Chains A and B, each alone.
Chain A
Amino acid sequence: MRMPGGAFRAVTALCAGAVFAACSPQPLPLVPSASSAASAPVAPPAREVVVGVDRLIGGFNPHTLADLTPVSEAVAGLLLPSAFHQTPTGQWALDNTLLNSAEVTSADPFTITYRIRHDAQWSDTTPIAAEDFGYLAAQLRSQPSVVDSAGYQLIDQVVSGDGGKTVDVVFHRPYAAWRTLFRHLLPAHLLKDAPGGWSKALDAGVGVSGGPFAMASVDPSRGEMMLVRNDRYWDTPAQVDRILFRQGSDAALVDALRTGGAQAALFGRPNAITESLLGAADVTVTRTVVPQPVLASVLLRPASPVLSDQRVRTAVAAALDRRSLIATGVASGPSAILRADSEVIAPSAPGYHATAPPAGAPVVPDPDTARRLLTDAGYTRGQAGWERAGQPLRLVVAAPADREPFGTLAARVVDQLRTAGIVAELHEVDPDELFGTVLGPSPAITGVSLQGTAGAVQGRADIVVLPQPAAGHPGSQLESWYGCPLVVPAGLGPAPANPAGLCDLAVQPQTERVLTQDGPAGAVPATLEAALWQRAVTIPLYQQASLLVTTSQLHGVNPGTPLEGPLDGAGRWQLRR
């Protein structure tokens, strides 16, 4: 159905702020107050599931690289509504808890019409509406370092109808993978004017919920986070009353499982020690490895003045020992079988196959190539290392702070570079600053092949070790990670560059074709993969994996795909004492 023009136009970032604001009551308490509880009749004991986690860190915006952690992904799946869900076979199924329908209603312009359930509301009673679609689309198109922005860059406008319960999303180009959009909608009415906005507003927690659970508290100092059943959830209510996430060491988590102090444990970076502890514990548990939707990757940024030179970039890649980095990162944990040999697709994703070259940089160290290319680029090897015109070859290797294993991998990269005679410094940067500022907005790119875009960045990062989204739609991932910002209609600003600052016009047409014209699977042609390996911009290492361990007290556990996360379906969990 084609929506009438002007009267219903312009939601996106300008979306009817005043109208929605008027509909936004103050959030109600998510749990009864102590006084009301005291005066109430004696209630049965709460059905509480304790989930141990090895790392409970703040940051709950699942769309930003800065917050891409196993816990934020898990919370997003339980609190934030989505238009579609990924099935285990990789298909996308309408989430009918949120939508009555979603369909292509116009081929030209390509338009999808979403009909939101009238009873779908945030836990503060604000309706889930077109505003939320518009907000998410606007942010993902305009903010740096977000997850899979490419599909959103194709959107021309988001139009609200039916009091916000119908959403027409109009694209300026057809987008076969449109079902991958609008996952984890955010409460626009709270975020659009929130201090710190997009990058900061969800650092401390998610204030409202559109899922079966709501966040009652987050206490990083105690290492605890409490989710409670969202009593305003309009669909099937959660079976348990609350889920308490409690941080602990691996040993503490295993001990809690053994003693009944926890019914589940989510290890975000399990390793051989985790396995050993579980093996030694006298407890029967179910272990499920749930690959995360990200790769641990090393990004050699063409945006860097030094690494804009392909020769230098390849030389640096040749100086690195990828196998050693992988061994460090996987630490003999479940990721050991998830070596990432594709530039775009995660090992666990449908359609994955290895595309890495069998030999040479960046797959295996190649000191001869490194020497030859640095010499070609004008560097000489002095006593102190490689230098040119009296200046040492100096690289800044950055990683998000407090987001292991990235800091560790970055430290190893630094060590390997130093061993190769390259001056390297490790900078661990606050994730918001790294992804929002250091890798953030850059000047518009003109049509120059492989032009660096470092001019406007604050700080410097020649190399970044970071999470690379890799379990979604391959075409979208390809364009989001490697593509130039897409041309957008007049009136909208260009999208920020990808984290590498890469814009390679030689491959851009092929990249866009994969994004827009291929089928929903969005397979990446082998030639394109080969070209990406040859450019040595991203050195994928391995896919991170979580380990979900549950005891027999917990029933109905059925972890989802990497995108849906290990706690998918927690609303159906049942506790048996």
Chain B
Amino acid sequence: MTGRVRLVAGLLVCVAVAVTGCTAVGGANRPDSSAAGPTNASARGDNGDGTYRAPKVAPGPAIVIAHDSPYSAYNNKTVLTNNNPDNALVLNQVLADPFIADGNGKLLLNSDVLVSAELTAKSPQVVTYRIKPNVRWSDGQPWNCDDFYLAWLAGSGGSGYFKPATTRGYDRATGECRDKNTFVETYHAPYADWRRNYIHNAILPAHILERETGIADITKLNPQSPPADLRKAGDFWNSRWTGFNATLMPGSGPYQLDSSTPGAPTVLTRNKAWAGNPGGSERIVLTSVADGAAAVQGVANHQFGVVQLPADPLLADRLRALAGRGVVFEERGGPAAEHLDLNLASPLLKDPVVRTAFAQCIDRNKLVEELVRGVRPETQPLGSLAFLPGDAKYEDIYSDKMVADSRKAQVTLERAGWVLGQDGVYTRTGQRLSFAISHDASPGHSREVELIRTQCRQAGMEIADRATPTGLGDALAQGKFDVALTTGPRSPRAWSLADQYATTGPLNYQHYTNPEVDTALSVAETEYAESTQIDALRKADRLIADELVSLPLFQLPIMWAYTNNIDSVYRHSSTGVTWNANEWKVS
């Protein structure tokens, strides 16, 4: 599997789980949305100076969290696990991160474990992490630079023996341990988003890997080291941190894994070695409940304290109806959006006229009405590929292009020489206006494609439904598609846009190239000033919109509910409801 194919496949794993709250590649949030947002999205441990410290919380009873799929891996950063949201739910409280991303996307230095993490030079870019002394894993071993170094070594992918979900960011840097508590990254190219390199469960216990592989000192290993050593390290990192094994999986956060066996809940207990204030709940029990109705029933009975479910209008209605039984239901726009990706290598879709007409015939409002508003009534068609509604810089730049007017689409085609045949399908110089939409055959996507086919049939387009239950990975990677209906993460924006729309982007399976877009995305990735980043993203967004490369449909909502004996639960867009579970006051 080539790197590109692997990344495509990685995205599609993400796509497949998107309706459950797909985690971004690299998992992170939208930095510009920090100014606004609901109050329960803020971290209680926010010190107000850009740092976080776990707050003191009164001890409380165990809490049971019901979610979609079972926990499967301790290392959630491999190409296979790829930031699986159900794993993230478990790991949020088990593995300490250098930065805490709150529900508004604000990054806070985790001052329980770090002294600082700073950009210490710009040319070349140098980032220095200073780790607090005496921070320990739950097995008593130090949490130190070795663990950061391992994360870098694996994430950079340079050796070829580690199989990370993404190398973005890591691959621009060289990591080194100046001492046991000082980790330094030196970048060969500027990278403004450096804070996201090690967030969301990336720091794993190097001492375990050393012990299990016989490697004496992981920091002596580098991408040019003997292959045998790299293979040993890579094999362990890739595959041994799956499932549950108490001896291999210590905790570095407020909680640690206590038990997890197939078919049974995963149980977290307080990590006694944790450097900060302990979590409130005595235990956190995470149980997989695939049947949404059962999850609803469980929270209605207060059997579950929190439920994190896929967005589903029927379940949303049932949860809303439980308000009188002490259940709080909440929903909001999630981190993922549905869009149609057009293959510009297709003889038909490379024609901007066809793309224009296709954009014009789709009635996104109908899609939203039927598929989304049952969960989130205020949802509107999405107007950007870079930003989401709620982002400070969000602007709808597609409403004048995606006008939901089949007649206008007909006019567009006819003006370009397409002639309507007796069967109601346009042709031009013998070419029939017929193409397919590929999708993953999920019920939601199937219905979505059915609606689009009907809408665009009224504009003289014959669109086939190419459902691929096995996923779109191969079709996309091999360019065997006309239009793909995908669910893509929108954060971090610069990454997701560059991956998909930069000429050399690893996920640019649409064969799109525009030097101006490349330049803008490069600026977005390398400029340190957020306003410059955002302006560059907006420019790229507009350029891509003007060429109708992808057609945004709507932002997927996320939803959750909790019993009112918990003070507040907020579902993080990337990592789910447990991002601040240590802060919950449970009575």
Residues of A within 8 A of B (CB): 54, 249-251, 271-273, 275-277, 324, 327-328, 331-332, 404-405, 407-408, 411-412, 415
B140 CB to nearest A CB, Å: 69
> Which chain A residues lie closer than 8 Å to B459 at the CB level?
273
| Distance between Cα atoms of A331 and B409 in the complex (Å) | 14
Residue of B nearest to A277 (CB): B458
Contact status A408-B458, CB under 8 Å:
no
- Given contacts A273-B458, A273-B460, A276-B424, A331 and B419 within 8 Å (CB-CB): yes
Tell yes or no: B414 within 8 A of A by CB: yes
8 contacts between A and B (CB under 8 A): A251-B406, A275-B424, A324-B419, A328-B419, A331-B414, A332-B422, A404-B411, A415-B417
CB closest residue in chain A, given B425: A272
Chain B residues with CB below 8 A from A405, complex form: 414
Contact call B421/A273, Cβ cutoff below 8 A: no
Closest residue to A405 on the B side, CB-wise?
B414
A272 near B414: Cβ-Cβ < 8 Å: no
B211 located at the interface, meaning its Cβ lies under 8 Å from any Cβ of chain A in the complex: no
Counting from the closest, the 10 A-B pairs by CB-CB distance are: A331-B420, A411-B415, A276-B424, A272-B424, A332-B422, A273-B424, A408-B414, A327-B419, A251-B458, A408-B415
| B458 close to A272 (CB less than 8 A) | no
How many Å from the CB of A209 to the closest CB on chain B? 30
Nearest CB in chain B: distance from A248 CB, A: 10
B463 to chain A, nearest CB (A): 14
Closest chain B CB from A400 CB (angstroms): 14
Instruction: Chain A residues near B411: list those with CB within 8 A.
Output: 404, 407-408
Could you give, for residues 497-517 of chain B, a 1 whenever the CB lies within 8 Å of some chain A CB and a 0 otherwise? 000000000000000000000
Q: How far is the CA of A54 from the CA of B407 in the complex (A)?
A: 9
Contacts of B423 in A (CB 8 A): 272, 276
- Determine if B414 and A273 form an interchain contact, defined as CB atoms under 8 angstroms apart: no
Q: A250-B407, A331-B410, A332-B421 are in contact. List 11 more A-B contacts (CB 8 A).
A: A249-B406, A272-B423, A272-B424, A273-B424, A328-B419, A331-B420, A332-B422, A407-B411, A408-B415, A412-B414, A412-B417
Instruction: Using known A-B contacts A251-B458, A405-B414, A415-B417, determine if residue A272 contacts B422 with beta carbons closer than 8 Å.
Output: yes
CB distance from A50 to the nearest CB of B (A): 20
B253 to chain A, nearest CB (A): 55
Distance (whole angstroms) from the CB of A403 to the closest CB of chain B: 11
A411–B459 CA distance with the chains assembled, in angstroms: 19
Docked pose: A250 CA to B417 CA in angstroms: 22
Q: Quick one: which of B414-447 are within 8 Å of A by CB?
A: 414-417, 419-424
The CB with the most chain B CB atoms within 10 A, among A249, A272, A273, is that of: A273
- Enumerate chain A residues within 8 angstroms of B417, measured Cβ to Cβ: 324, 328, 412, 415
| Shortest CB distance A327–B (Å) | 5
Q: Is B405 an interface residue (CB 8 A)?
A: yes
Q: Which residue of B lies closest to A276 (CB)?
A: B424
* Smallest beta-carbon distance A257→chain B, Å: 15
* Chain B: CB-nearest residue to A410: B415
DSSP majority for the A interface?
Answer: helix
In the complex, are the beta carbons of B458 and A250 less than 8 A apart?
yes
Closest chain B CB from A370 CB (angstroms): 19
- CB nearest to A249 among chain B residues: B406
Interface string of B390-421 (1 = CB under 8 A from A): 00000000000000011100110011110111
CB distance from A331 to the nearest CB of B (A): 4
Near A by CB (< 8 A), chain B positions 447-463 give 457-460
The answer to whether A249 and B405 touch across the interface, beta carbons within 8 angstroms, is: yes
Nearest residue in B to A324 (C-beta to C-beta)?
Answer: B419
Contacts A249-B406, A250-B406 given; does A272 touch B415 at CB 8 Å: no
* Cβ-closest chain A residue relative to B427: A327
Interface 1/0 per residue, B206-232 and A, CB below 8 Å: 000000000000000000000000000
Q: Is the CB of A412 within 8 A of B415?
A: yes
Q: How large is the interface on B (under 10, 10 to 19, 20 to 34, 35 or more residues)?
A: 10 to 19
Query: How far, in whole Å, are A325 and B417 apart by their CA atoms in the complex?
Result: 9
CA distance A213 to B60 in the complex (A): 76
Bound complex: CA A554 to CA B406 (Å):
28
- Cα-based distance from A405 to B412 in the complex (angstroms): 11
Tell me the bound Cα distance from A331 to B406 in angstroms: 14
Closest-by-CB residue of B relative to A329 is B414
| A249→B407 contact, CB < 8 A | yes
Chain B residues near A54 (CB-CB < 8 A): 407
**Bound Cα distance from A332 to B420, whole angstroms:** 6
| Chain B: minimal CB distance from A133 (Å) | 40
B420 x A271 contact (CB < 8 A): yes
State in angstroms the CA–CA spacing of A328 and B411 once bound together: 10
List residues of chain B with CB within 8 A of the CB of A328.
414, 417, 419
Give Cα A324–Cα B427 distance, bound, in whole angstroms: 12
Chain B residues within an 8 Å CB radius of A411: 415
> Complex Cα distance A243/B423, Å?
33
Provide the bound-state CA to CA distance between A415 and B460, in Å.
21
A276 to B460, CA, bound (A): 10
Q: Give, as a whole number of angstroms, the nearest-CB distance from B573 to chain A.
A: 36
Give Cα A81 to B235, complex, Å: 91
In the complex, A404 Cα to B424 Cα: how many Å? 18
Residue contact B422 to A273, C-beta cutoff 8 Å: no
Residues of A within 8 A of B420 (CB): 271-273, 331-332
CA distance A324 to B419 in the complex (A): 8
- Give chain A residues whose Cβ lies under 8 Å from the Cβ of B419: 324, 327-328, 331
Nearest-neighbor residue (CB-CB) of A416 within chain B: B417
CB-CB under 8 A from B460, the residues of chain A are 272-273
Contact of A272 among B406, B407, B416, B421 (CB under 8 A): B421
Which residue of chain A has its CB nearest to the CB of B460? Answer: A273
A411 CA to B414 CA, complexed, in Å: 9
Q: Which residues of B contact A271 (CB under 8 A)?
A: 410, 420, 424
Smallest beta-carbon distance A503→chain B, Å: 33
Question: In whole angstroms, what is the CA distance A411 to B410 when docked?
Answer: 13
* A272 vs B406: C-alpha distance when bound (angstroms): 13
Min Cβ gap B184→A in Å is: 62
Residues from chain A with a CB closer than 8 A to the CB of B421 are: 272, 332
C-alpha spacing A411/B413, complex, angstroms: 11
A331 vs B410: C-alpha distance when bound (angstroms): 10
User: Which residues of A sit under 8 angstroms from B422, Cβ to Cβ?
Assistant: 272, 332
Within the complex, the shortest CB–CB distance from A399 to chain B, in Å, comes to: 11
Question: What string of 1s and 0s marks CB contacts (under 8 Å) between B452-481 and chain A?
Answer: 000001111000000000000000000000
Residues of B within 8 A of A324 (CB): 417, 419
Quote the shortest CB–CB distance from A287 to chain B (angstroms).
16
A332 to B457, CA, bound (A): 15
CA distance A276 to B421 in the complex (A): 11
A490, chain B: closest CB distance, angstroms: 49
In the bound complex, how far is the Cα of B424 from the Cα of A328, in angstroms? Answer: 13
Measured CB to CB, the nearest residue on chain A to B412 is A408
User: Which residues of B (88-105) have their CB < 8 Å from a CB of A?
Assistant: none
Q: Which residues of A contact B415 (CB under 8 A)?
A: 407-408, 411-412
Complex Cα gap A408–B357 (Å) = 14
CA separation between A250 and B420, bound complex, in Å?
A: 15
Q: Which residues of A have CB within 8 Å of B457?
A: 273, 276
Task: For the complex, give the distance between the alpha carbons of A277 and B423 in Å.
Answer: 11
A249 to B417, CA, bound (A): 22
Q: Which residues of A contact B424 (CB under 8 A)?
A: 271-273, 275-276, 332
In the complex the two chains form, what is the Cα distance from A327 to B427 in whole Å? Answer: 11
Which residues from B are CB-within-8-Å of A327?
419
B406: A residues at CB distance < 8 A: 249-251, 273
- Say yes or no: A249 contacts B458, CB within 8 Å: yes
Tell me the bound Cα distance from A36 to B11 in angstroms: 66
CB-CB nearest in chain A for B415: A411
Cα–Cα, bound, A4→B448 (Å): 77
Query: Could you tell me the distance between the alpha carbons of A328 and B412 in the complex, rounded to whole angstroms?
Result: 12
